[in-house]
Amino acid sequence: EMTVTNSESVKFLEEWGFKRIVLARELSIAEIRSIREKCNSELEVFVHGALCVCYSGQCLMSSFIGGRSGNRGLCAQPCRLPWSLSGDGSESGRSSYLLSPRDLMALELLPELKSAGVSSLKIEGRMKSPEYVAIVTSVYRKYIDLLETEGEKACHVENSDRVKLMQAFSRGGFTRGYFEGSRDYKKLVYPEHPKNQGIPLGKVLETRPLYIKVRLEKSIDMGDGIEIMDSDRKVHSFTVTSIIENGRQVRSAGAGAEVWIGDIKTGVKKEGRVFRTLSKSLFDEARKTFEGKKPHLVPLYMEFAMKAGEKAVLKVTDHDGNIACTESAEAAKKALNKALTPERIREQLTKTGDTPYRVEDISIETDNDSVLPISALNAMRRETLEKIRQLRIKKWKKDIPGTIYYREKTEKIQADITPELTAYFADAPGSAAGLNGLVKRIYIPVMERSLLERLKNEYDGELYLWTPSILKDSELDMITEQIRKVCDLTDGITYGSFGAYKALKEAFPGLSLCAGPSMNVFNNETISVHEELGAGTIVVSPELNLKEARGLVSRKSRLEAVVYGRIPLMTMEHCPSSLEMGCSGKCGKCRGSRGYLKDRKGEFFPFIRDPVLKRTRIFNAHPMLMDGPEVLKGSAISLYRLILTDEDRDTQKALAKYYHDKINGTGLTDEVSDIIEKLKSSGHTRGHWYRGVE
């Protein structure tokens, strides 16, 4: 989620004490090898499972469309919904799953990954069934062991193992992702269906009520999951409850057999494609590998002492030397009839339940003439196990090296600064003269010196260059050299990753730094980090609501928040236009490098393809427009950002005048009011300022 795409990011994290670093999924094996050669830490890469079409940690689409944040682990997966392409935002073609990648499978690339210096392989497991995890990890374990013991030649992947992985879960087959450096997005994305399709079984030959006839390409069993996709892409899913072969009911049928399969409750068309989405036999076999087996439990050693008239004592020790003691809430009493036996005490104290502990040994010392309620024994056991848990956590908790200043929770330092406006241009602006006297600072992309000189001559505010949030090693070098040619014309630079920060700070020590929105600044601890790194400005996350924003504190830096504009929702390698138009690789000359994606609700989301870096940015369908930025007055946020994408110059000036006058409490002119009302009537959002996000 940290979007580590270059060696400078890895070096930065190494300096902070990180020993293993997970690289972004968009890196090629060649790029991974290059990072390995420049760095010392262990590298981990994702090798199997669902791919995000957007760079992880940089996606706000689920957040702004569905109110559930992918950055907080609650992605609603809008990328798996149907989308259609439009060139001008007025019409669109056939809807398909233009943003839905196939699942990644890098099993056949294990030798290359090992050679590139990868130390650890990451396999998707979150929200997957235990059977899926068992199948996938067992297959990868097999070939990792073969590679280690017998070398690369013995690592040829058998078709049966490839089929197992497809059957466990696959979307239209697998992709090797970006490992081989390919930009063939037709191999990356599967636009026909966004869910598991498993293994092809054949086509529907005939239909009759509740049944379909299929010539099987693979075997089938009772209890298997089946999916049928009609020619119009309508999907029917069901569980096999009946198989008829040669007029007889059977439990299973092999490849090549013509069978009737039921029971199908929905209308299915002839020629529909049939898939087995779940193999009961495969999942049953996988279940045997873990069912009934106890997980590894931490051994504990108990000592218990009880004497009438005194409080009982339970002492627990683990193998790391942690010791926890608990006294009973009340003193043991002299037994009137039967004393509490050591056997009964042992029975209660060794009931560790679903905790990660087991009692290896227990010694019990009693006077054989006392009693204590069973509930008291249970309470002592629970309290002591919790104490051991806390001791174990504390022992293994490590502090982050380096100097980080955390504020006291009760301390609140408000910056005594009058709020001011900034403007972020998603593309190089033709002019910014209309913003003079209204906007303190503009953020512009890195551009040629002649263009920057013209802009500098007509605009009297601060000029900051923004750098892309995603930069690989060669791109970071290129951007650094471009900035070097114009750094005397600029007042500051925005960084979008820790790698960019490290490189730019070293190359341009005299320029002011701004931590961009891709740094996901949610809280005061993160602000502290960027302040200590020397950022003069910190842009807070657009996922914050008003209450959260008002709770932010800054000692050294100015905090900046977006009050207007189309929020960038995605940054991705994928080009949606290439699925329908093909790809020449010449993004600067391609009419598909700009356009709109239409969702199922009819909203149009503009996208722009970077002609140099060849990445796509998708923006929100409507601009976010905060009606009253004065609600942020008194907070530590003192810079209010306008994001400008497709607004004409009159609208840009009107927006700047509107917010400038709102901040300063002056009246609005009719001309400005008319433009703002027109903007509102064409559709806008209020972002997360008032609703927040899950």
pLDDT at 415: 47
Quick one: average pLDDT of 253-266? 92
Instruction: Render pLDDT for 226-237 as a digit per residue (tens, 0 to 9).
Output: 999 998 888 999
In terms of domains, do 507 and 552 share one?
yes
Q: 375 in a domain, yes or no?
A: yes
Q: 79 in a domain, yes or no?
A: yes
Instruction: Render pLDDT for 96-110 as a digit per residue (tens, 0 to 9).
Output: 999 999 999 999 999
Please check the confidence at residue 403 and state whether its pLDDT lies above 90: no
In terms of domains, do 12 and 87 share one?
yes
Percent of the chain having pLDDT more than 70? 96
In terms of domains, do 97 and 119 share one?
yes
Quick one: average pLDDT of 284-301? 89
pLDDT at 629: 77
Whole-number Å distance between alpha carbons of 435 and 651: 11
In terms of domains, do 23 and 135 share one?
yes
pLDDT at 565: 95
Closest CA to 278 of 135, 127, 174, 96: 135
Please check the confidence at residue 295 and state whether its pLDDT lies above 90: no
Quick one: average pLDDT of 657-663? 90
Quick one: average pLDDT of 633-659? 92
* Residue at a domain's end among 185, 216, 240: 185
In terms of domains, do 372 and 463 share one?
no
Least confident of 29-43, 169-183, 187-201, 400-414: 400-414
Do 543 and 69 form a contact (C-beta atoms < 8 A)? yes
In terms of domains, do 307 and 224 share one?
no
* Residue at a domain's end among 238, 263, 288: 288
Confidence tier at 409 by pLDDT (50, 70, 90): very low
Structural domain for 233, as ranges: 199-288
Any idea what the Cα angle at residue 392 is, between residues 391 and 396, rounded to 5°? 115
Residue with tokens 């502990």: 357
* Residue at a domain's end among 288, 310, 337: 288
pLDDT at 172: 86
Closest CA to 502 of 17, 6, 3: 6
Total structural domains within the chain:
4
pLDDT at 584: 80
- Could you give the maximum distance between any two Cα atoms of the chain, in Å? 100
Q: 137 in a domain, yes or no?
A: yes
In terms of domains, do 226 and 341 share one?
no
Closest CA to 443 of 629, 626, 594, 643: 643
235-239 vs 225-229, strand pairing mode: antiparallel
Please check the confidence at residue 413 and state whether its pLDDT lies above 60: no
In terms of domains, do 343 and 238 share one?
no
Please check the confidence at residue 351 and state whether its pLDDT lies above 60: yes
Confidence tier at 399 by pLDDT (50, 70, 90): low
In terms of domains, do 334 and 244 share one?
no
Least confident of 227-231, 438-442, 503-507: 227-231
Residues near 59 by Cβ (< 8 Å), separated by ≥ 6?
Answer: 52, 70, 71, 75, 569, 570
Confidence tier at 92 by pLDDT (50, 70, 90): low
In terms of domains, do 310 and 264 share one?
no
Please check the confidence at residue 639 and state whether its pLDDT lies above 90: yes
And the tokens for 438? 């209204």
Please check the confidence at residue 406 and state whether its pLDDT lies above 60: no
Q: Which amino acid is at 257?
A: A
In terms of domains, do 207 and 177 share one?
no
Q: 689 in a domain, yes or no?
A: no
In terms of domains, do 224 and 89 share one?
no
pLDDT at 401: 52
pLDDT at 680: 85
Instruction: Render pLDDT for 28-53 as a digit per residue (tens, 0 to 9).
Output: 999 999 999 999 999 999 999 999 99
CA dist 84 → 221, 365, 447, 600 (Å):
38, 75, 32, 9
